[in-house]
Amino acid sequence: MSHVEHKATAPRSVRCYVITISDTRTEETDTAGRAIAELLRGAGHQVVGRTIVKDDPGFVRGAIERQLADPNVQAVITTGGTGISSRDSTYEAVSALLWKRLDGFGELFRMLSYEQIGSAAALSRACAGLVAGRVVVALPGSEAAVRLAMERLLIPELGHLVREASR
């Protein structure tokens, strides 16, 4: 079956949970999390919830695991904590959970990001993968980076990803 046929049988609406990882963002200042939710809804997907957690590996992992335990959630999308500073812990927390890594997601994101911001794209550790038939994606905390990843990579493939992950 071709990728076109796979997409044709993929769900049109995916149930997603959005987690913002930040020591400083609030509901009012969380522009990246809000952008993810708006873009998902605009593409016909459901946002079943949103939360903000501190940039701490235990908090990040716990927040993701709580959503993976909910059978209603098909995809968990995080924003923030994917850089290289000492406080950035999302990559480590997400990587430890993944059963299968989607290396191409991070590679493509960095390529697209390079086209916009140049060599600073190398500092991103955005990643994606599968856990127990669910999709987990870790995006940077910048609204511009989130919009790039959502519009160019995730929205076009989200239904396809969920279809393949659940097989």
128-141, pLDDT tens digit by residue? 999 999 999 999 99
**Which pairing describes strands 75-79 and 100-101: parallel, antiparallel, or unpaired?**
unpaired
Residue 4 lies in a domain: no
Residue 44 lies in a domain: yes
pLDDT-flagged residues of the chain (< 70): 1
| Length of the chain as a residue count | 167
Mind giving me the DSSP string for 13-81? S-EEEEEEE-SS--TTT-HHHHHHHHHHHHTT-EEEEEEEE-S-HHHHHHHHHHHHT-TT--EEEEES-
What per-residue confidence (pLDDT) applies to 96?
A: 96
What per-residue confidence (pLDDT) applies to 8?
A: 82
Domain range enclosing 85: 12-165
Which of 79-118 are b and which e, b meaning 16 or more Cβ less than 10 Å from the residue's Cβ? bbbbbeeeebbbbebbeebeeeebeebbebbbebbeeeee
Residue 62 lies in a domain: yes
Distance CA 88, CA 68 (A): 22
Q: Return the ∠ at Cα 125 (arms to 93 and 77), rounded to 5°.
A: 60
Residue 7 lies in a domain: no
Residue 6 lies in a domain: no
What is the CATH classification number for the domain harbouring 44? 3.40.980.10
- Are 97 and 64 in contact by the 8 Å Cβ rule? The answer is yes
Residue 1 lies in a domain: no
What per-residue confidence (pLDDT) applies to 5?
A: 76
Angle between helices 90-97 and 57-68 (to 10 degrees): 40
Handedness of CA 77, 74, 17, 40 (dihedral sign): positive
Domain total of the chain:
1
Residue 121 lies in a domain: yes
Residue 131 lies in a domain: yes
What per-residue confidence (pLDDT) applies to 10?
A: 85
Q: How many CB atoms lie within 10 A of CB 69?
A: 9
Which region holds residue 117: left if phi is over 0, alpha if psi is between -120 and 50, else beta?
A: alpha
pTM: predicted TM-score of the whole model, two decimal places: 0.96
